[in-house]
Every structure is written in C-alpha cells, then in structure tokens.
Amino acid sequence: MSEHSQVSDRRPSTPSLLFESGSPGRSPSFWPEDSGKKKTELPAHLVRKEIPGFPELGELEVLRHFTRLSQLNYAIESHFYPLGSCTMKYNPKINEVVARMPGFSSLHPLAPVELIQGALQLLSELEAMMAEISGMDAVTLQPSAGAQGELTGLMIIRAHLAAQGNPRKKILVPDTAHGTNPASSALCGYDVMQVASNDRGMIDARKVAELMSDEVAAIMITNPNTLGIFEQEIQAIAEVVHGKGGLVYLDGANLNALMGIAKPGDMGVDVLHINLHKTFSTPHGGGGPGAGPVGVKKFLEDYLPVPRIIKKDGRYELQEDLPRSIGRVRSFFGNFGILVRAYTYILTLGSDGLEDVSRMALLNANYLRKKLEGHFHIPYSEPCMHECIFTDRTQQKQGVQTMDIAKRLLDYGFHPPTIYFPLVVHGALMIEPTETETRETLDAFAEAMIAIAREAKEDPALLKSAPHVTPVGRLDETRAARNPVLRWEPNKS
C-alpha cells in the first residue's frame, strides 16, 4: 500500500499496483491439473522458468483493483468532454450489445469464406455507406486508425503517381494540420512543405499556387480545419493542385460538421480517411481501438489494400490477386469489432439522423461560442462549424495560461477542451461539444468557464495550483521524462 500521507489531503488514497497486491497461490484455477489426458513435455531448452513478479490475485481482488482504477477516470458517460477535433459524442450501448453477439465476436478471419458471409455483407455495405457519406467511389475498411488511414491514403497517392512515372517528392501540409499528417507523409518517404494559413484562419488558393509544382505529390487538408473554420477556397485549391498533376487528401477528422451539409467528394478531394471513433460513435477506449477507413475516387480504386470484397452470384468473395494494390497495412480485415459498431450506428441514425447530427453539432458549438465571447479571446471572426477556438490572451494579463484554465476546469468536473493545438494559435483552447450534449450541460460548462475567467482576475494563484480535487495534483512530467520509469520491477519496495 502507498505510504503517501493523506492527512491534509482530500484526495482518495493512492491505489496499489497489481504487483504490490495479491499473494502466492491465490489466482483462481481454470484448468484442473489432471484430466486424464496425456501431458507433453516440450524440450527443456525451449521452456521458461516461472515469471518473477507476475501477479497472483484472487478474482475479487482483481475486480476491485480495476473497478477502483476506473473510478479515477473521467469519461464521456460521467463527464462533459469537449475536446476539439476528437468528437467525444455518446457511444451508444446498443453498439456494444451488437458487437458482442457471438455471430460477430466469435468469427475467425481464416475460416472458409462460406462461414463469414454475414460479416462480408456487413463490410461490403459499410464500404458503400462510407462512400455515400463522404462522396467517394471506393472504400477500404482495413486501416486500424486515422493515422494508419493517412498512411494508406498517401501510399495510394504515391503508387498512382509512381505508375505515371514519378512519385514526386513533397506533400503540402497546412500549419494547422494534425501532427499525424506530416508524420504519415514522412513515413511514406515524402518531404513536408508547410502552407501558412492567412489571418482569417484559412488557406489561400493563391498561396497554394505559389508552392505547387510538379514535385508536389499532394496537399493534405482538413475541412473544416482544426480551427473549426470551413476552408472556403477548397475547390479552388483542388483545382490548383490538380492542375499540376497532384492529388488532394482530406483528413476526415472533422466530418461530424459536414453530414448533409457538404460532401468531401464534391470538393475535389481524391483520397480521404474517416475516423470511426470520432464521427461514428465508436468508443475511444482510453486510447483506441479505432478505425480509419479510406475512401478514394474511382481512378484510384485499383490501389486499395487487399483483400477486396466482391459480390458474385449472390455470394461474397475475397479478391487477393490485385497487382496494383499497395498490399496490406495490417493483418486480416482491420478492426472488425469497431466496424460492426459503426455499421450499427449508421443503421440506427439513417440519413435523417446523420444529417441531424451535423446540424446539432454546429448549433451546440455556436451556442457555446456566443456564451463565452467577451470572456475569452476569439482569434478569428470567421463563422465556426462544429468546434470553436479561444485563447488565453485575456487571462495572460494576470499571468494565467491556457494550462491553468484547463487544470482548473477539472475542479469544476469538466474535462478540458483540447489545449495548445493547433500550433498557429498561442495558447489555443479548442472546444467541440458534439451534438449529444444538452443545452443545460453547455450552460453549466459556460458558467464554469466564466467563473474561471473571474478567478483569473481575482485569484490567479488558485488556477496556477489547480487541480485541487482530482485524485492526484499536477504531476511532475519533467521528472518522468528525465528519469523514465516505465515498468514496475520486482526488487522495488
């Protein structure tokens, strides 16, 4: 147990680690020692000794351990979580029920194809749904996450250009882009060239034209961008890039703003990825698993990863022999369990429900923006879509930073918005409420923010030492980075 003093501390006691609990021999037994079957001894040089320090807890001990850990977390189901560009919407319970049906959860990917016809039907129909929603022609569901989707999309672009004789060398990436955009570009063997946003928070087609050349393979663009602003010149930008033989990649992270309002496929986009764990309600899980389907226009279809699912004579089959395919980015079909959840969500909402999602997402974001204007500095006067951005400029006059505002929000029982992103805005606070929040929740959040703005003037020290009521106070990240301790060890106390 922890030795840390709690005398003057209202916080709950520090939980033990698994390895600090339990007792030898306590684990439940699941396999009787001798069931009359023959025991096989593997050759001694292939067998390990017992694992020192591996946990040995009773079943209730295990449950209590993890249950108490869970109670230290904020989560959507307990707290408002307005993280910009993360789309922390309600994760429907029916999706969980469906995903756990044995007819989905207990399938083996290498079973004969006759045994997975229902699964292949689901995948095939989900591909069509993704295509319709995004305005693209063909879809792969294989990538496990948005970042893997980006890599897949860039590989497709590269393969296409290489087939034409020159894969080219550069990718244009706006200064507001998510970090995965340049990271994925580098992984694909491209150099990154940054495009600066203008003082209205948007990319000028004219600026793109200055940077566009036949050495540029593509532009990666997010729309609406990470400031929550619709890139007005998107079609002109696409024209400029296409004009020199390049392609347009859309990071679909903000798709929650667009359903029924505008389709990326109509904007001149050639390739995009969609984040199912954002727009399509699959749970964030504390950091995954997600899924990042990729959609392409018809001329790029041949490059999609294998296998492709095709319907022939009323049956679903797998096509592996596709010579122009980029290959595989991971094993089997992708995160099927996540795909089942997204499919269920789309079935539940339908066209009317999905179009309503985006409208209400915009309503909620604009409502919050109006409530907070005057209390927090707004860097851009452009209309916002599903998310709105503020800075700490007003509060900086009292020496209070965005970090302090965020930590103080924890004391009010809210998860903070996204902070310090995008990088073009000093001390950014990006708020995406999503469509599943009530007006009362938004009002309560606004009240808390306004109270914090007042505290910043009257008692800045309170903010700088926040949070006060969370299970732990502000943690020493410097220490964690200077002397990384990344595991428990047996001879530690």
Partner 1 sequence: MEFPEELRYSKEHEWVLIEGRIAIVGITDYAQKELGDIVYVELPEIGEKVVKDDPFAAVESVKAVSDVYAPVSGAVVEVNDALPETPETINEDPYGDGWMIKVEISDMDDLKDLMTAEEYAEYVDKEKEDEGEEEDDDDEKEED
Partner 2 sequence: MRYTPHTAQDKEQMLRLIGLSRIDDLYSHIPSSLRKTASLALPPGLTELEVKKKMAALAEKNGTTQNWHFFLGGGIYHHFIPSTVDAMISRAEFSTAYTPYQPEVSQGTLQAVYEFQTLICQLTGMEVANAGLYDGASATAEAVLMARRLQPGRRRILLSRALHPDYRSAVATYVKNLDDVELKEIPFTETGETDMDFLAGNIDADTIGVVLGYPNFFGVIENLVPIREACDRHGVFLITATAEALSLGLLKSPGEWGADIAVGEGQSLGIPTNLGGPGFGFFASQKRFVRSMPGRLVGETVDGSGRRGFVLTLATREQHIRREKATSNICTNQNLCALAATVFMATLGKEGLRRVAQVNVDRAHEVRECLVREAKLPPVFSGPFFNEFVLKVEGLNQRLPGFAAKKIAPGIPLGRWYPELPDSLLICATEMNGGEEIEQLVGTFSGE
Enumerate binding residues for partner 1 (CB under 8 A): 175, 194, 196-199, 379-380, 391, 393, 396, 420, 423-426, 477-478, 480-482
Tokens of 370: 């109006």
Tokens of 97: 């029920």
Which among 57-65, 213-221, 239-247, 456-464 is the span making contact with partner 2, rule CB under 8 A? Answer: 57-65
Give 191: exposed, middle or buried? Use CB within 10 Å, 0-12, 13-18, 19+: middle
253 binds, among partner 2, partner 1, none (CB under 5 to 8 A by kind): none
163 binds, among partner 1, partner 2, none (CB under 5 to 8 A by kind): none
Told to check if 64 binds partner 2 by CB under 8 A, we report no
Out of 137, 169, 245, 359, the only residue in the binding site for partner 2 (CB under 8 A) is 359
Residue 348: closest CA among 63, 90, 137, 60: 90
- What region does 61 belong to: left with phi over 0, alpha with psi -120 to 50, or beta? alpha
Query: Which of positions 319-338 make contact with partner 2 (CB under 8 A)?
Result: 326-338
Question: For partner 2, which is the closer residue by CB, 63 or 397?
Answer: 63
In the chain, the amino acid numbered 178 is: H
Q: Identify the three-state secondary structure at position 216.
A: strand
d(CA 194, CA 157): 19
Question: For partner 1, which is the closer residue by CB, 342 or 389?
Answer: 389
Give 131: exposed, middle or buried? Use CB within 10 Å, 0-12, 13-18, 19+: middle
Binding mask 258-297 for partner 2 (x = CB under 8 A): xxxxxx--xx-------------x-xxxxxxxx-------
Q: How far apart are the first and last CA of the chain?
A: 10
d(CA 419, CA 429): 5
d(CA 364, CA 387): 9
Query: Which of positions 463-492 make contact with partner 2 (CB under 8 A)?
Result: 465, 467, 470-477, 479-481, 484-488
What is the per-residue DSSP string for 327-350? Answer: --SSSTTS-HHHHHHHHHHHHHHH
Tokens of 344: 């269920």
425 binds, among partner 2, partner 1, none (CB under 5 to 8 A by kind): partner 1
Question: For partner 2, which is the closer residue by CB, 49 or 458?
Answer: 49
Least distance from C-beta 366 to partner 1, angstroms? 20
Told to check if 387 binds partner 2 by CB under 8 A, we report no
The enclosing H or E element of 452 equals: helix 439-458
103 binds, among partner 2, partner 1, none (CB under 5 to 8 A by kind): partner 2
Query: Which of positions 173-202 make contact with partner 2 (CB under 8 A)?
Result: 178-180, 182-189, 191-192
Query: Which of positions 87-146 make contact with partner 2 (CB under 8 A)?
Result: 88-92, 94, 96-98, 100-112, 114-119, 121-122, 129, 132-133, 135, 144-146
Least distance from C-beta 21 to partner 2, angstroms? 9
Q: What is the DSSP letter of 388?
A: E
The enclosing H or E element of 312 equals: strand 308-312
Preceding peptide of 289 cis, ω within 30°: yes
Told to check if 437 binds partner 2 by CB under 8 A, we report yes
133 binds, among partner 2, partner 1, none (CB under 5 to 8 A by kind): partner 2
Q: Identify the three-state secondary structure at position 179.
A: coil
Least distance from C-beta 402 to partner 1, angstroms? 12
Give 226: exposed, middle or buried? Use CB within 10 Å, 0-12, 13-18, 19+: buried
199 binds, among partner 2, partner 1, none (CB under 5 to 8 A by kind): partner 1
Out of 355, 379, 444, 464, the only residue in the binding site for partner 2 (CB under 8 A) is 355
- Please work out, in degrees rounded to the nearest 5, the angle formed at the alpha carbon of residue 260 by the alpha carbons of 259 and 261: 90
Least distance from C-beta 476 to partner 1, angstroms? 9
Which among 210-218, 242-250, 361-369, 451-459 is the span making contact with partner 2, rule CB under 8 A? Answer: 361-369
Query: Which of positions 225-254 make contact with partner 2 (CB under 8 A)?
Result: 230, 232, 235
